[in-house]
C-alpha cells in the first residue's frame, strides 16, 4: 500500500511561547534531523508514494534551508502545505511560496491584538495581520487557524470575517486541548462546561452568518488509514499525530533506517481503523469553515498507560509527593484541611471495621463523623470547618494516620467545583506547604509532578473519585472562591 500523505513536524524550535501549545514548542528536540537528513527523508517519502506533505512545528520557517526543502518537495511533484505563526514571513519568502504553489496556514488566537498577544506574545497579532495582507496581495493560498479558548470563544464571528476579508481559503476552528503548555494556564484557556457544549453550534452559526454555509454532520471516524504518516522532528514515525502526542513510545520506526516497503508487507486491514472506530476529535466542515472539536474518546492506537489503578498505588505515590510535608502540617493552621473528610467506599468499609465513627448521608457519601448534630439528631452539614474527630491536636497527627483516606492524602490538592459547574483538580493556596514551596521556587516542579500523578489514574479509579466527590459536592457545596485555589486541569 503506497503512502499518500506525510505530516511532518520539521522542528520543535519556535520563536513564540504560545500558552496553549500542545508540543510545548521552544527548543529543538534531542536528535532532530539534520538538514541533510531532512532532504534524504523527503526522497524516501516520495519513493514510498507520498504526494502531499504538511509541515508543522515549532515554527517551520525557523529551520535552516526550509525554503530549499520546499523547493525539493515541489520538484518531486508533491503538494505542500505549511502551518506558521507568520512572524518570519518576508516579502521574498512569500514570493517563493507563491512561485512554488505552497498552501499556507496562519495561526491566530485573537481577533484583536489584546486577546491574541495575551496568548501568543506581544506584537504577534500585528505580524500575523501584516502577513495575511501580504498573502492576499501576492496571491498565496492561505487558511486561518484558530485555537478556540475561553479567552476568544466570543470572537468567532470576528475571526471568520477576518478570514473572509483577507480572502483566506478557509478558517479552521480547533477546540483547545488542555494538555502541554495549556496545563499551566487552565483558568485562562479552558472553556466552561456550557461553552464546550455550545461550541459546535456557535461555530455552525458563525459559518451561516459570515459564509452563508452549513457545516456538515460531525465525522468522528478514526483517520488512521495506513497511507498517512506523521513524523516528529527527530525522525520518529507514527500512524497519526495523536499517537505521538499521547504515546511517543509507540513509534513504528525512525526515518533514518525505516523501510516503507517492509512495513507495508507486514500490515493487514486490521492494523488500521475500521468504520466503527472513533477518533479523539469530531470534524464538521463547509467550503470555507472547519470545526475540530474534542469528543472525549480514547485513541485506540495510543492506549493510555494507566500506572495507577488501585488506591494503594495512589497512596504510595502521594506519599512520595508529600514526603517533606510533615513539619509544614505541624506549623500550619489552615482550617480547610482539618475536617469534612469524605471517603471512598473501600475506605469507609475499612474504617468502619476499625471502629471509626462514620456518617452516611441519605445512602450517599460517607464522612468521618466530625459534625455537630442538629436538634433532630442529624449531622449539620452546613458547618464550614468541622474539626476532624481523628485529629490529635497536640501533634497535629491523626489517630488513623496509616489509614487516613484519600481526601486527606491529596491535600493541598483536591477536586473543586467552579462557579460554572466545571470540576477541576485544584491546588489550595492557603496551605502552608504550598506557600513555602512557592517561596523556595519549588511550586512549578510540584505542580508538574502532581499533574503527572493525576494523569496516570486509571479511568475506573478516577471515575470512582470523581463520582464520590460530585455526590459530596451536591450535599456540601460552598460558593466558588471561598477556598483560595488555583485550577490545574479539569477532572475528566
Residue pLDDT tens, the chain, 492 long: 789 999 999 999 999 999 999 999 999 999 999 999 999 999 999 999 999 999 999 999 999 999 999 999 999 999 999 999 999 999 999 999 999 999 999 999 999 999 999 999 999 999 999 999 999 999 999 999 999 999 999 999 999 999 999 999 999 999 999 888 988 888 899 998 889 999 999 999 999 999 999 999 999 999 898 899 999 999 999 999 999 998 999 999 999 999 999 988 887 655 677 767 889 999 999 999 999 999 877 788 888 777 788 999 999 999 888 888 888 888 887 766 666 788 999 999 999 999 998 989 888 889 888 888 888 888 887 777 677 777 665 555 677 878 889 988 998 999 998 888 889 999 999 889 999 999 988 888 788 788 888 988 998 999 999 999 999 888 765 554 466 888 888 887
Domain boundary among 244, 261, 294: 294
Tell me the CA distances in angstroms from 197 to 34, 72, 202, 295, 393, one per residue in order: 44, 44, 10, 10, 47
Ordered alpha helix ranges (H), 139-281: 156-165, 186-189, 193-206, 241-246, 260-266
Whole-angstrom distance, CA of residue 184 vs CA of residue 486 = 10
Neighbour-count burial for 466-487, b at 16+ CB within 10 Å, e otherwise: eebbebbbeebeeeeeeeebeb
Cβ pair 2, 265 in contact under 8 A: no
DSSP character at residue 204: H
User: Looking at residue 389, what is its pLDDT?
Assistant: 77
**Co-location of 102 and 63 in the same domain:** yes
User: Looking at residue 200, what is its pLDDT?
Assistant: 97
Domain boundary among 261, 294, 327: 294
Q: Would residue 478 count as lying in a domain?
A: yes
Q: Which helix (H) or strand (E) holds 69?
A: helix 66-75
**Co-location of 225 and 356 in the same domain:** no
Q: Which helix (H) or strand (E) holds 254?
A: strand 253-254
Q: Would residue 299 count as lying in a domain?
A: no
User: Looking at residue 151, what is its pLDDT?
Assistant: 96
Cβ pair 340, 370 in contact under 8 A: yes
**Co-location of 333 and 287 in the same domain:** no
**Co-location of 401 and 467 in the same domain:** yes
Residue 13, Cβ neighbours under 10 Å: how many?
18
**Co-location of 107 and 180 in the same domain:** yes
Which has the closest alpha carbon to 344: 400, 405, 424? 405
**Number of domains making up the chain:** 2
Cβ pair 37, 256 in contact under 8 A: yes
**Co-location of 338 and 264 in the same domain:** no
Cβ pair 114, 74 in contact under 8 A: no
Q: What is the extent of the structural domain holding 442?
A: 311-490
Q: Would residue 302 count as lying in a domain?
A: no
Q: Say if residue 344 is exposed, middle or buried (CB neighbours under 10 Å; 0-12, 13-18, 19+).
A: buried
Tell me the CA distances in angstroms from 24 to 230, 282, 486, one per residue in order: 18, 23, 21
Q: Say if residue 416 is exposed, middle or buried (CB neighbours under 10 Å; 0-12, 13-18, 19+).
A: buried
User: Looking at residue 336, what is its pLDDT?
Assistant: 64
Map grid coordinates 473501600 to a residue: 346
Q: Would residue 301 count as lying in a domain?
A: no
**Co-location of 278 and 325 in the same domain:** no
Tell me the CA distances in angstroms from 11 to 105, 288, 293, one per residue in order: 16, 29, 26
User: Looking at residue 159, what is its pLDDT?
Assistant: 99
- pTM (2 decimals)? 0.72
User: Looking at residue 275, what is its pLDDT?
Assistant: 67
Q: Where are the beta strands (DSSP E) in 275-412?
A: 278-285, 289-294, 342-343, 358-360, 366-368, 391-392, 397-398
Cβ pair 94, 102 in contact under 8 A: no
**Co-location of 273 and 335 in the same domain:** no
Q: Would residue 33 count as lying in a domain?
A: yes
For the record, the C-alpha cell of 414 comes out as 483536591
Q: Could you tell me the end-to-end alpha-carbon distance of the chain, in angstroms, rounded to an integer? A: 38
Domain boundary among 267, 294, 321: 294
**Co-location of 176 and 95 in the same domain:** yes
Q: Would residue 265 count as lying in a domain?
A: yes
User: Looking at residue 466, what is its pLDDT?
Assistant: 94
Q: Would residue 390 count as lying in a domain?
A: yes
**Co-location of 75 and 161 in the same domain:** yes
**Co-location of 178 and 43 in the same domain:** yes
Q: Would residue 205 count as lying in a domain?
A: yes
CATH number, domain of 191, equals 3.20.20.70
**Co-location of 284 and 381 in the same domain:** no
Amino acid at each position: 500500500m503506497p503512502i499518500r500523505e506525510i505530516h511532518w513536524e520539521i522542528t520543535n524550535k519556535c520563536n513564540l511561547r504560545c500558552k496553549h501549545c500542545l508540543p510545548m514548542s521552544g527548543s529543538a528536540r534531542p536528535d532532530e534531523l539534520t538538514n541533510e537528513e531532512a532532504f534524504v527523508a523527503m526522497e524516501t517519502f516520495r519513493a514510498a508514494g507520498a504526494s502531499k506533505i504538511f509541515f508543522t512545528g515549532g515554527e517551520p520557517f525557523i529551520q535552516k534551508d526550509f525554503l530549499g526543502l520546499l523547493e525539493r518537495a515541489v520538484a518531486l511533484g508533491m503538494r505542500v502545505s505549511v502551518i506558521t505563526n507568520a512572524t518570519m514571513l518576508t516579502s521574498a519568502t512569500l514570493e517563493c511560496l507563491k512561485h512554488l504553489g505552497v498552501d499556507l496556514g496562519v495561526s491566530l488566537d485573537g481577533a484583536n491584538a489584546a486577546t491574541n498577544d495575551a496568548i501568543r506574545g506581544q506584537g504577534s497579532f500585528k505580524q500575523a495581520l501584516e502577513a495575511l495582507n501580504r498573502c492576499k496581495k501576492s496571491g498565496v493560498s492561505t487558511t486561518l487557524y484558530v485555537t478556540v479558548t475561553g479567552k476568544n470563544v466570543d470572537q468567532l464571528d470576528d475571526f471568520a470575517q477576518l478570514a473572509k476579508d483577507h480572502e483566506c481559503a478557509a478558517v479552521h476552528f480547533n477546540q483547545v486541548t488542555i494538555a502541554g503548555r495549556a496545563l499551566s494556564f487552565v483558568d485562562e484557556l479552558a472553556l466552561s462546561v456550557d461553552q464546550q457544549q455550545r461550541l459546535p453550534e456557535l461555530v455552525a452559526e458563525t459559518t451561516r452568518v459570515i459564509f452563508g454555509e452549513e457545516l456538515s454532520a460531525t465525522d468522528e471516524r478514526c483517520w488512521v488509514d495506513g497511507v498517512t504518516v506523521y513524523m516528529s522532528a527527530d525522525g520518529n514515525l507514527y500512524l497519526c499525530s495523536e499517537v505521538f502526542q499521547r504515546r511517543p513510545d509507540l513509534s513504528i520506526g525512525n526515518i533514518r533506517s525505516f523501510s516503507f516497503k517492509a512495513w507495508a508487507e507486514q500490515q493487514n486491514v486490521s492494523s488500521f481503523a475500521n468504520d466503527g472506530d472513533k477518533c479523539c476529535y469530531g470534524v464538521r466542515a463547509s467550503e470555507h469553515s472547519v470545526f475540530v472539536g474534542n469528543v472525549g474518546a480514547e485513541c485506540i492506537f495510543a492506549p493510555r498507560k494507566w500506572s495507577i489503578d488501585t488506591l494503594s498505588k495512589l497512596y504510595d505515590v502521594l506519599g512520595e509527593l508529600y514526603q517533606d510535608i510533615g513539619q509544614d502540617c505541624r506549623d500550619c493552621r489552615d482550617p480547610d484541611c482539618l475536617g469534612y473528610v469524605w471517603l471512598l467506599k473501600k475506605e469507609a468499609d475499612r474504617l468502619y471495621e476499625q471502629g471509626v465513627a462514620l456518617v452516611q448521608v441519605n445512602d450517599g457519601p460517607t464522612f468521618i463523623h466530625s459534625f455537630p448534630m442538629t436538634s433532630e439528631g442529624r449531622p449539620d452539614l452546613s458547618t464550614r470547618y468541622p474539626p476532624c474527630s481523628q485529629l490529635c491536636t497536640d501533634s497535629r497527627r491523626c489517630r488513623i494516620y496509616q489509614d487516613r483516606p484519600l481526601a486527606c492524602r491529596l491535600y493541598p490538592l483536591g477536586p473543586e467545583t467552579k462557579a460554572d459547574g466545571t470540576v477541576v483538580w485544584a491546588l489550595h493556596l492557603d496551605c502552608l506547604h504550598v506557600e513555602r514551596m512557592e517561596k523556595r521556587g519549588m511550586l512549578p516542579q510540584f505542580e508538574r509532578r502532581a499533574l503527572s500523578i493525576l494523569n496516570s489514574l486509571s479511568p475506573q479509579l478516577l471515575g470512582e473519585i470523581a463520582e464520590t466527590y460530585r455526590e459530596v459536592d451536591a450535599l456540601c457545596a460552598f460558593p466558588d472562591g471561598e477556598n483560595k485555589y488555583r485550577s490545574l486541569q479539569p477532572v475528566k
